[in-house]
Structure 1
Amino acid sequence: MKFDMDYIAHNNALTETNPYFKLFLTIILLIVTLAFDNLYFDVTVFVIMSIVILTIAKINYKSYLKFLSIPMAFLVITCIFLIFFFGKGDVIYETGILGIVVTTDSWHYGVYTFMRVLGCLPCLGFLALTTPIAKILNCLRTLKVPKILIEIALLMYNSIFIFLNEIDTMQKAQETRLGYHSYWSSFSSLGALVSIIFLRSLDKSETLQYSLDSRGYSGELPVYEPKKR
């Protein structure tokens, strides 16, 4: 099942719920989760918001797990570095490799960072998976957020999905040519994929600029405005 966040945002049980309510609820939960230095509170927020996403918004659990997978991978890597390479204090574990140790402070940093981010992820997921990007940007516009930030967000959102589709297409092409059948071929294919994506990004940015100019772009992108009821 291919993950399509934009489709999910337009097709769930909370799509028509007031976007301002969802936006402010997300912001408040993020602030409270980051402000509280309590692991139990972080876990509680994660569980409650996950239940809301899965049962009230009725979003497929596979889609929700795919949404969490990429940030969770970065989170785990970051916390591993925090645990093994940062912090001072009493040594609680010695790896025996180049003097790398785990201290009380580094363990505290790693665990608390992991739990705080873990509590924030479903809050962001609640907004991203239940509210179309057009409505979010309209809320930001009415809240007097600078236009340049809204336009950058819109272009980034559009570009992310274009490149994800490009990556998916190229990975499938590499797999059909046995590009990942061994350890070394996987490294070679990954390196080729990264380099091609870099070149494609330059090409796509130039194409985007040409398309905007051909449509009379004057330095400001229009933002969706819903009809007043």
Structure 2
Amino acid sequence: MNISVDHYAHTNGLRNTSPGFKMALAIITMLISVLSPNPVIPLIIAFLMTLLILFAADIPASYYLRFAAIPVGFGVLTLVLMALFFGVNPLVTFMGLRIYSDGLHTGILVFSRILGGFSCLAFLALTTPLNEVFHELGRLGLPAAFIEIALLMYRSIFVFLEEASVMYNAQDSRLGYSGIKNSYRSLGLLAGNLFIRSWLRGETVYRSMEARCYQGTMPSIRRQSIGAREAVMIALFDGLLLVGLLFTSKGVIF
């Protein structure tokens, strides 16, 4: 199996933990991070969730750094742009560029919220398979038709990627990308045939499901619900964060 988010979601150290517990922990903590008026709490959340990902879920640090590179880069870009172009009180001028104090403060807050929110979503994505996430949403009242469509779409993504990989490797083994001209020609052929190949593979997958008595529902392994011990852990973890949120919102910290 390819080293991917889906792979780690099925093999991490928290695989057998209740998906409801992981979803509740990630969603409640993310809401606290987004609602925080101060960057301290989101940064603490990002640090704590990263510890859970690396040590409790046993996700390799090298993979997690690559996984977080794009959102962190987006957050840094947002911070720089807000510091340079948003605000009315110049803090310092460097090489003709003005850094505004209020823009810098807002940029730091947005950056911290991005880190906090992303770490919560990363915790959920890297520890809980998507079918279990949708199963829990179904228990909360999400329509069954919506869940089935979402799961089929999720499966189709892997079919699409597999077809693209097979076609690219076949072209590359025949020197299809040996030059700029050949690369454009091969890329055009790949794009033109990919939709048709993916459509045919999708039809094959659906017929296979029907042959195995598919009747519009995709059963999943039922895992335990949130227990008393897990509920207490969520209450303590997010309760302490809420206390910190109250202190920082009143200007006691930072």
Q: Any unmatched runs of 5+ in structure 2?
A: 226-254
Determine if the alignment matches structure 1 residue 90 to structure 2 residue 89.
yes
- One-letter amino acid matched to 2:24: F
**1:169-202 Cα distance to aligned partner (Å, 9 max, x none):** 749977x969699xxx6xx969x86995587357
- Structure 1's 164 and 45: CA in aligned 2 closer, same or farther, altered over 3 A? farther
Q: Any unmatched runs of 5+ in structure 1?
A: none
- TM-score normalised over the length of structure 1: 0.71
Alignment of 1:6-85 (within 5 A): 6-85=6-85
- TM-score normalised over the length of structure 2: 0.65
User: Which residue number in structure 2 is paired with residue 147 of structure 1?
Assistant: 144
Three-state SS of the structure 2 residue aligned to 1:38 is: coil
Moved more, 106-115 or 25-34: 106-115
User: Which residue number in structure 1 is paired with residue 220 of structure 2?
Assistant: 224
Post-superposition shift, 1:90? Answer: 2.7
Report the structure number with the largest CA radius of gyration. 2
Distance 1:194 1:150 in 2: 34
RMSD of Structure 2 on Structure 1 (CA): 4.2
Determine if the alignment matches structure 1 residue 131 to structure 2 residue 131.
no
Post-superposition shift, 1:57? Answer: 1.2
User: Which residue number in structure 2 is paired with residue 118 of structure 1?
Assistant: 115
Three-state SS of the structure 2 residue aligned to 1:144 is: coil
- Structure 1's 189 and 18: CA in aligned 2 closer, same or farther, altered over 3 A? same
Distance 1:102 1:95 in 2: 11
Distance 1:220 1:44 in 2: 43
Post-superposition shift, 1:72? Answer: 2.8
1:212 aligned to which of 194, 206, 217: 206
Identical counterparts, % of pairs: 29
Determine if the alignment matches structure 1 residue 3 to structure 2 residue 33.
no
CA contact (8 A) 2:164 2:190 kept: no
How many residue pairs end up in the alignment?
220
